[in-house]
Chains A and B, each alone.
Chain A
Amino acid sequence: MERVIGIDLGTTNSCVAIVEGENPVVIPNRGGYKTTPSMVAVTEAGKRLVGHIAKRQAITNAESTVYAAKRLIGRKWNSPQVKNALMTSSYAIVEGPHDDVRIRLREREYSVPEVSSMILQEMKIIAEDYLGEPVSKAVITVPAYFNDNQRQATKDAGQIAGLDVIRIINEPTAASLAYGFGKNVDKTVAVYDLGGGTFDVSILEIGSHGVFKVIATTGDTFLGGEDFDARVIDWLVQGFQDENNIDLRQDRMALQRLRDAAEKAKCELSSVREAEINLPFIISTGRNEALHLQRTLVRETLERLTEDLIERTVSICRDALEDANLGTDDIDDVILVGGMTRMPAVQKSVAGFFKREPNKSVHPDEVVALGAAIQGAALMDDKREMVLLDVTPHALGIMTYGSYFEELIPQNTTVPTSRTKVFTTSRDNQTAVKILVMQGESKKADDNELLGEFILTGLRRAPKGHVEIEVAFEINTDGIVSVHAKDLETGQAQSIQVTASSGLTSDEITHMIESAKDYMVERRTDEQFEQAKQEAETLMAEIERMFPEVERIVASSDFGRDAISKARSVLEKSREAIRKKETQAVRDQVEGLSRTQRMFKGVVSRAQ
């Protein structure tokens, strides 16, 4: 049976899991970590860095390091979230050709799905390295509030990475699955997800027939672990400034170290009461001196520095319950998701608000990927015991007179589905009507997402309210929305098929898929080149080390000098082949280098 991986494509960290036997397991990366930073960078030399290595130079190479691409994926250029990112991001965000968003790294522009595909490609490689076989199918999770465009963009990202995304599921739903909910139970669950960059709280109704209804979801896309790190950095910087009158923020290297140290100390304080922060040679002064930073951060100080952030999350939980028209007593279980929920103060606040201990038996930074893997395995299983039913994540309807939104298909309706409503004209002698298809939960049309529009013409002239127009919405199993409008009297009809758009055309996606494949080929070629280069360089280093001695021994004779010249040439040609990155040429030189090395060794040993 083909394997399906589950991928939690997070704002700051991603995770991949698979079901082995009966159990879902998280797959660690090469460094042994179970999560991989969702960061992509391009170095000055043009090398692409993904994951941990990209994170470690995120500040020193800020302009060419992309983070939190998830905040931009599937969004239109003129959306408020993109405008916000324009002001806060260190990398260049530019307008794309389809009213979409592009990111400029060094000399090239990338679409957001393309950037996300690089992270997904990395997760694919991690899985393939672990399994020892190719992987082509995946279930990817997204936030519950993602609209169709954002979901389609995420699917496109998977496609570019060489993955067949067989399902997109909501993150709180995946987390619930990992905890075993959904098996013949009816529960109301609160999912508290405090990740690296975002906070989401969702209220789910879990039905016994595999229906997970997200009845409320809210959050803050700019509240997460990084904000907690920032408080620690502020504390360190202020202390250093008070002592030495130097602002460490002005130096990128110092800031990079501070950021790494702050995050490390924060994580340590989840299990110990104090953490040492030791940063020798953090900054050089103008007087040929280097200063060290040594400080101890205790848990109480961290909690004091961040209590307002935790309080904000509790306030958002309150809003979510209000949206769901529920009280804390109506919640059967609370699930913690995201690494920040390991912080004791966070757990205490959540328990205090919901008046019950949250579930934390599954690692909070792995739980979403595990749930995705469970769903992937279920989809491939013939028995299909536990399969989520696909639901429309947001309500669908049209804009009516006065810019109101009239809902036709409610949120969380299982697909396929179809609904019909009759509307009428709003002006006397109106002969045409514009149908604007929208998605969202707001009563005001302007607050919802416009999916498409069309015009129905040929209406008979009549006083307003006398012409009846039937509007029908249909969603098929593939999630494609079709909208029909018909004048019931004349039979005049018009329709539109709405497909979610990520902002990329199919040609662009095809081109990106090819680029991604080329990158993988180049990466493998680079690995082969590196192997050959290492072998050559080891020999070259040894030859160069012995060169003076050998030259001294044999340079007195003509043929000795000739041999030395030959040896020099071998070295020179090897360097040239390495510089030109020609794998075969390097391999060709290895034999010459080996001979030279053996000769040198023999000369030196015999001369002693």
Chain B
Amino acid sequence: MGSRITPPPTSKPPETGEVDDSWDELVFGALAEPPADEDDVFDRATAVPDPTRRRVNLEELTLDLDSRAPDANEARATDRLKTAPAAAAAIGSDPPDSDGRAAVLPAEPVNPFTARTKMPGAETRPDLVRSSESPERARTRPEPVVERQLARVDEGKPSSAKDFGRAASEGLAFDDSSSKASPLELVETYRRGIESIPGAAKPVSGAPTLESERPSGTFGDMQDRYAVGDFTGALVVAESILDGNPEDEEAKRYAQSCREVLTQMYAARVGPMDQIATVTLPPDQITWLSLDHRAGFLLSLVDGVSSIEEILDISGMSRLDALRIMFTLIQQNVIALNH
């Protein structure tokens, strides 16, 4: 599922002076920028890691669909991800096999009137392992290019593509009919051609620096997670801060930004909102899934007539939560989408 990506030699982080091939720029979303950060170094191929920062396990970056308070959610079992990769439904994870379904825990029927179904992760989760030397870290699918894009959008900073009006005079049309053009030739043609389109963006200038001073404690944790693209984790921390101090403006900003980013990420994965959702499982098989009542409610709104947008409108929960659940149900092949 995608080969290992080795950062090019020119992208050595100057501070460390060594190639850190566990630092996958695409996975860590090093180009993501916290809301109040300053420099934009998007043109660097890799981010500039802070040697004092603790290494973060790859698994931390996966999006947990049942975000809870940090202490409850913090221990995301690596084992759980390994046993149910699709169920984890990480934005960075590979999609499940086409003939596979997410691993689900079978229900334990107790009586004919009601059935009780354990939800995933009901057992105590081990603390998340944080090791500076992670052996054979499972490489997640480098979807976080989406994260970087969205993070930059939500920073509120103007796009580095400031000049939209410059029309290329070359007038090179992108010609994809030539079967002899190499990939790089295609890219070169595209580069020249894209600038001829009015409103087309100029190249962005690079990744933001991560050199802002890191505060300590939970707040720092929130910023760290945001900086590395763990928006789910950052949101959980932000919400826990707000639980204790609802007026914390900084936490509010982070929380809002995380929600927006995550919403867009899930929306991108779900696809066009006018798609019609249909349930693919017969009713007797649905009860064997590991869902909570909110997923059950969302599933009950899927009637083969309503579009995703309509279901989100009447879901009775935040758009982010509804999209998360919908994405999980799609990943688990419980619902299918059609135009």
Chain B residues positioned under 8 Å from A401 (CB to CB): none
Convert A531-575 into 0s and 1s, putting 1 for each residue whose CB lies closer than 8 angstroms to a CB of B.
001100110110010011111111111011111011111111101
Assembled-state Cα–Cα distance A598/B187 (Å): 10
| Contact across chains for B161 and A569 when beta carbons are under 8 A apart | yes
| Contact across chains for A544 and B113 when beta carbons are under 8 A apart | no
Task: Select which of B8, B183, B197, B305 is within 8 A of A592 by beta carbon.
Answer: B197
Interface-located stretch among A137-145, A247-255, A320-328, A505-513: A247-255
Chain B residues positioned under 8 Å from A568 (CB to CB): 145, 148-149, 204
Answer whether residue B316 sits at the interface, using C-beta atoms and an 8 A cutoff: yes
Chain A's nearest CB lies how many Å from the CB of B131? 25
User: For residue B189, which residue of chain A has the nearest CB?
Assistant: A599
| Contact across chains for A572 and B204 when beta carbons are under 8 A apart | yes
Chain B residues positioned under 8 Å from A244 (CB to CB): 114
| Contact across chains for B182 and A281 when beta carbons are under 8 A apart | no
| Contact A570-B114, Cβ < 8 Å, known A256-B316, A290-B119 | no
Which range holds the interface residue count of chain B?
Answer: 35 or more
Answer whether residue B240 sits at the interface, using C-beta atoms and an 8 A cutoff: no
8 A Cβ contacts from B115-142 to A: 115-119, 121-122, 141-142
Answer whether residue A345 sits at the interface, using C-beta atoms and an 8 A cutoff: no
| Contact across chains for B26 and A548 when beta carbons are under 8 A apart | yes
Assembled-state Cα–Cα distance A592/B187 (Å): 14
| Contact across chains for B204 and A602 when beta carbons are under 8 A apart | no
| Contact across chains for B201 and A573 when beta carbons are under 8 A apart | yes
| Contact across chains for B174 and A575 when beta carbons are under 8 A apart | no
Task: Select which of A285, A294, A573 is within 8 A of B159 by beta carbon.
Answer: A573
| Contact across chains for A291 and B199 when beta carbons are under 8 A apart | no
Interface residues, chain B, CB within 8 Å of chain A? 2-3, 5, 8, 26, 42-43, 45, 111-119, 121-122, 141-143, 145-146, 148-150, 152-153, 159-161, 164, 174, 176, 181-184, 186-191, 193-195, 197-204, 264, 267-269, 271-274, 283, 286-287, 291-297, 299-301, 305-306, 309-310, 313-316, 319
- A57-B313, A60-B315, A589-B199 provided; 4 other pairs, C-beta below 8 A? A240-B114, A281-B296, A288-B121, A599-B186
Interface residues, chain A, CB within 8 Å of chain B? 31, 43, 45, 47, 49, 53, 56-57, 60-61, 239-240, 243-244, 251-254, 256-257, 260, 278-285, 287-295, 530, 533-534, 537-538, 540-541, 544, 547-557, 559-563, 565-573, 575-576, 579, 585, 588-589, 591-592, 595-596, 598-599, 601-603, 606-607
7 shortest interchain CB distances as A-B pairs: A281-B296, A569-B201, A60-B316, A57-B314, A565-B203, A288-B122, A599-B190
A-B contact list, 29 entries, CB within 8 Å: A43-B313, A49-B313, A53-B314, A56-B301, A57-B314, A61-B316, A244-B114, A251-B293, A252-B316, A253-B316, A254-B297, A257-B300, A260-B300, A278-B283, A281-B293, A283-B293, A288-B121, A290-B293, A291-B114, A292-B114, A293-B114, A548-B5, A568-B148, A569-B160, A572-B204, A576-B153, A588-B198, A598-B174, A599-B187
